[in-house]
Amino acid sequence: MADVVPTRLRCEYLTNPLAIDTPQPRLSWVLQSGDRGVRQTAYQILVAASPEALNKDRGDLWDSGKVASDESNQIVYAGKPLRFGQPAWWKVRVWTNKGQASDWSEPASWRMGKLAPADWNAKWIGSPEPAPGGKDLPQRPSPMLRKEFTLDKPVKRALMSASALGLYELRINGKRVGDQLLAPEWTNYKKRVQYQTYDVTGLLRSGANALGATLADGWYAGKLGISFIVKDGPLRGHYGRRLGLLVEMQVKFEDGTTRTIITDESWKVTTEGPVRRACLLDGEVYDARREMPGWDEPGFSDSAWAAAAVLDEAKVHLVAQPNEPIRVSQVLKPVAVNEPKPGVYVVDFGQNLAGRCRLRLRGEAGTTVTLRHAEVLQADGSGMIYRDNLRINANGPGTGALQEDQYTFRGGMEETWAPAFTYHGFRYVEVTGLTGRPSGEWIQAEAFHSAPPIAGRFECSSDLLNRLMQNIVWTHRDNMHSVPTDCPQRDERLGWMGDMLVFAQPACFNMDMAAFFTKWTQDIRDDQADDGRYPDFAPHPYDPNARFSGVPAWGDCGVVVPWRMYVNYGDRRVLEKHFDSARRWVDYIHRHNPDLLWKNRRHNDYGDWLNGDTFKLEGFPKGQGEVPKEIFATAFFQHSASLVSKMAAVLGRSAEARQYGELAEAIRQAFVKAYVMPDGTIGLKDPQGRLLGHTQSAYALALAFDLLPDQQRAGAAQRMVERIDAYKGHISTGFHTTIMLMNELTRNGYNEVAYKLINNRTIPSWGYTIEHGATTIWERWDGYVEGRGYQDPGMNSFCHYAIGSVGEWMYRTIIGINPDEQQPGYRHVILRPQPGGGLTWARGKYESIRGPIASEWKIQDGNLLLTVTVPANATATLYVPAAEAKAVTEGGKPADQAEGVTFVKMVDGAAVYELGSGTYRFESRGYAR
Ligand code: BGC
């Protein structure tokens, strides 16, 4: 009994969440068992309104009874209706195919958030002065708000829900509430504003208490990426100009009575506080002389403060934040502090990160320290920082991202400060205004970002590839700020969809993206244009009906990301929510392109962005990069149509599955007819009859989307390899086709060519960037070239994840972990490590929604030793590289006789086995001789 334990209980992908506003939340757990071949055959869930009831095995909200099922994920709560404030305590037990019954799991909980406007009593409040009119909204001091109240009885529990139009930071009795940064984060505020819920029991006391809040512009009223594109429009204030605060705290006393503290006209407000300016892009200006000690504690005299105004314009749709908040994930110390000019200190943190610096310094009252952040140093060796790529004033006065913080000392003591309402993309920070070289731990960097649990770990015998994976993971972290951003430094930081389209799978390998994508797919739907066009970035603050929407690949992200969620997490509900939206996008393209080639309405038409034709490199042949935009677009049209058909099939909508399946097949045929020449070459004839686009990208695209008839695949793969040779053995692909190239080389028998590309150290390659100091993935393959210097400062970020999509190939091919879309959510996993490229060992682990999957191999004495772990309640197909099936053993026995192992057949130099759960040790004798 009890060799099996249900663990990791979660509700809506979160551990013990305090506010769930989905009326029927979904529950999941992970089965733990050391045995082989364990499958869950049934489960029972109990949900109770109190821990006491749960303890007595009373499911007074829901007793599922014993349900025959192997599902451990996406189980929909089906008990009594849940209302706001309802706590739900739950546990689960399971039965297995081995005749085991588990004990009840450890209990977990969730609590229902506010489900309707009527659940709120609080009022939106803010400064009494109306927001400034005029074209542009000036940067301004942050309002501070406060309220005192008395609690005359011992408190049992207090929960506080809060939101802002703008950003908020809350304090109770002198202490910060929660560790969340930049709350309530970014949404289309016109459609929804998130609130957060905190357990503040420990912050309250009997007697007098005080609540304090500071607000800032943030995404709501601040400057946003590329706001200059709206001609004659403002740089700031895209969603609104007047900042607002909403707080509602439910206090439950030991004696069972309750009290609610809310924002209302009894609060006081001032704009005389220390935060003089705060902008996400430009930075924060803080004058410590204006601090008001005690303002967030009871007994402070706020007689000079004004009465807060109730904002009646705030008709806001509030939703509970569905994903993990933005938090500090790592603190970094300087690796060097240099003084390239007298009084100019350049601090190197050794890592390009997104976040802020924290100072601990003494200074004379009234003197100001300025921090200017940069990703790289000047190419001239002067040791000064390079900031041209921040585009400061490059698109008109006030445009760009200043990334500059200023701190003015209060004086007379050691002062500690970090900005609260901004973030920067940087490795280096230039500090000026100091009176001498500081000593001790005077500066640190805090990396922060939306912080879901880490899911994947990767390591191998190559230092270069280990650094590459670290660069990919850092770039991912640096670009998770409520939305997946393109970059964290210049004035963009937008949820560019084309970037996440290609990074979605590696993102899922790196982190548990389920809750984050739940939020972002809603952002995508919120900003879909009326005619079905998806935005180029989501959220879209500049009206997707007017501009920046409807682009091939960027728009297709609206179809691809929900599908990735289904494949990786088995999330059927996201498909239900998203299906109509995805279909509208495909219908939009179809409506304007009835002949099935996507020639019309490609809008900004970025194509395979930053491909070889954009490189500024000597000695490489021209015209070897781009796949013609029409070919690129048509391929994505086909891909989206086929995914919509698959979504329909999952949802049981068979008529639509057939309809979009037929459409996809018709587009595929039109593609072949128009772009595949009789000899198998792919391209587009220009008016002079020349063939354009016979490039690596064209073949990678056609192969990756299965657009070619079977008999043409081998020829296309061969041409793809020839195109690599023609490009001196290097990559000429752009954002979207790079990962396709890598995957298709491996899939079509050219694994060694893929390894050669990933091991390249000459430009263009990942290795070149690493050997030139990259600690994150560059936007451009040639962002910096020795002797030439930096690329066009108008667009040259050193922290863009798109070509880091090769992380997907590293997990799929080196470690060999592949999700199976036929059995999503890792109910079944395809394990296919394919050693090569001179690697002698590799190991990786992926924390799937079904439990940990591990794969580890090494080559020893000419034999391949391979250890894999399949989680309980999952199965795997394993490909063991082998000369012949006879050469493979497991645990010292012929593999086909081992427990839980079934030999299937030999495929392309691998012995294929079906495995149940458990850990297996295979040896492939003579594999590497
Ligand atoms: C962004 C990209 C984005 C692109 C659209 C750029 O400025 O940084 O990553 O996808 O614009 O082409």
473-526 pLDDT, tens digit each: 999 999 999 999 999 999 999 999 999 999 999 999 999 999 999 999 999 999
pLDDT at 313 > cutoff 70: no
> Is the distance from the beta carbon of residue 492 to the nearest atom of ligand 1 less than 6 Å?
yes
> Is the distance from the beta carbon of residue 487 to the nearest atom of ligand 1 less than 6 Å?
yes
Interval between CA 664 and ligand 1 midpoint (Å): 28
Q: What is the pLDDT of residue 232?
A: 79
Q: What is the pLDDT of residue 827?
A: 98
* Entry pTM: 0.98
> Is the distance from the beta carbon of residue 795 to the nearest atom of ligand 1 less than 6 Å?
yes
Choose the residue to mutate in 492, 548, 801 for probing ligand 1, maximizing ligand atoms within 8 Å of C-beta: 492
> Is the distance from the beta carbon of residue 486 to the nearest atom of ligand 1 less than 6 Å?
yes
Interval between CA 224 and ligand 1 midpoint (Å): 14
What Rg do the C-alpha atoms of the chain give, in angstroms? 29
> Is the distance from the beta carbon of residue 606 to the nearest atom of ligand 1 less than 6 Å?
yes
> Is the distance from the beta carbon of residue 491 to the nearest atom of ligand 1 less than 6 Å?
no
Interval between CA 791 and ligand 1 midpoint (Å): 15
140-181 pLDDT, tens digit each: 999 999 999 999 999 999 999 999 999 999 999 999 999 999
Q: List, as one string, the DSSP characters of 653-681.
A: -HHHHHHHHHHHHHHHHHHHHHHB-TTS-
> Is the distance from the beta carbon of residue 608 to the nearest atom of ligand 1 less than 6 Å?
no
> Is the distance from the beta carbon of residue 605 to the nearest atom of ligand 1 less than 6 Å?
no
Let me know: does 498 contact 552? Beta carbons within 8 Å: no
Interval between CA 387 and ligand 1 midpoint (Å): 19
Q: Mean pLDDT over residues 400-407, rounded?
A: 98
| Joined tokens for residue 201 | 């029991």
Stronger pLDDT, 315 or 495, i.e. the higher one = 495
Residue nearest to ligand 1 atom 1, measured at CA: 486
58-68 pLDDT, tens digit each: 999 999 999 99
Q: What is the pLDDT of residue 561?
A: 98
Q: List, as one string, the DSSP characters of 718-787.
A: HHHHHHHHHTTT-----TTHHHHHHHHHHHTT-HHHHHHHHH--SSSSHHHHHHTT-SS--SSTTSEETT
| Ligand 1 atom nearest to CA at 779 | 9
Predicted confidence band of residue 420 (pLDDT cuts 50, 70, 90):
very high
Q: What is the pLDDT of residue 754?
A: 98
pLDDT at 132 > cutoff 90: no
Let me know: does 492 contact 793? Beta carbons within 8 Å: no
| Ligand 1 atom nearest to CA at 606 | 12
Q: Mean pLDDT over residues 546-562, rounded?
A: 98
Let me know: does 428 contact 374? Beta carbons within 8 Å: yes
Residue nearest to ligand 1 atom 3, measured at CA: 496
The sheet carrying 901-907 orders its strands as 817-819, 828-831, 875-881, 910-915, 901-907
170-211 pLDDT, tens digit each: 999 999 999 999 999 999 999 999 999 999 999 999 999 999
Let me know: does 164 contact 244? Beta carbons within 8 Å: yes
Interval between CA 609 and ligand 1 midpoint (Å): 8
| Ligand 1 atom nearest to CA at 226 | 7
Let me know: does 493 contact 487? Beta carbons within 8 Å: yes
> Is the distance from the beta carbon of residue 498 to the nearest atom of ligand 1 less than 6 Å?
yes
Q: What is the pLDDT of residue 1?
A: 42
pLDDT at 457 > cutoff 80: yes
| Ligand 1 atom nearest to CA at 795 | 7
Interval between CA 204 and ligand 1 midpoint (Å): 47
Q: Nearest to residue 174, comparing CAs of 270, 295, 304? A: 295
**Element of type H or E holding 521:** helix 514-526
| Ligand 1 atom nearest to CA at 800 | 9
pLDDT at 267 > cutoff 50: yes
Q: Mean pLDDT over residues 119-147, rounded?
A: 92
pLDDT at 314 > cutoff 70: no
881-910 pLDDT, tens digit each: 999 999 999 999 999 999 999 999 999 999
pLDDT at 2 > cutoff 60: no
| Ligand 1 atom nearest to CA at 486 | 9
> Is the distance from the beta carbon of residue 334 to the nearest atom of ligand 1 less than 6 Å?
no
Choose the residue to mutate in 399, 606, 791, 800 for probing ligand 1, maximizing ligand atoms within 8 Å of C-beta: 606
- Beta strand 863-870 with 918-924 is antiparallel
Instruction: Please list the active-site residues.
Output: 492, 779
Looking at this protein, which amino acid is placed at residue 392? I
320-368 pLDDT, tens digit each: 999 999 999 999 999 999 999 999 999 999 999 999 999 999 999 999 9
794-852 pLDDT, tens digit each: 999 999 999 999 999 999 999 999 999 999 999 999 999 999 999 999 999 999 999 99
pLDDT at 386 > cutoff 70: yes
For the chain, give the number of residues: 929
Predicted confidence band of residue 929 (pLDDT cuts 50, 70, 90):
low
User: Look-up: residue for tokens 């952002």?
Assistant: 523
Q: What is the mean pLDDT of the chain?
A: 96
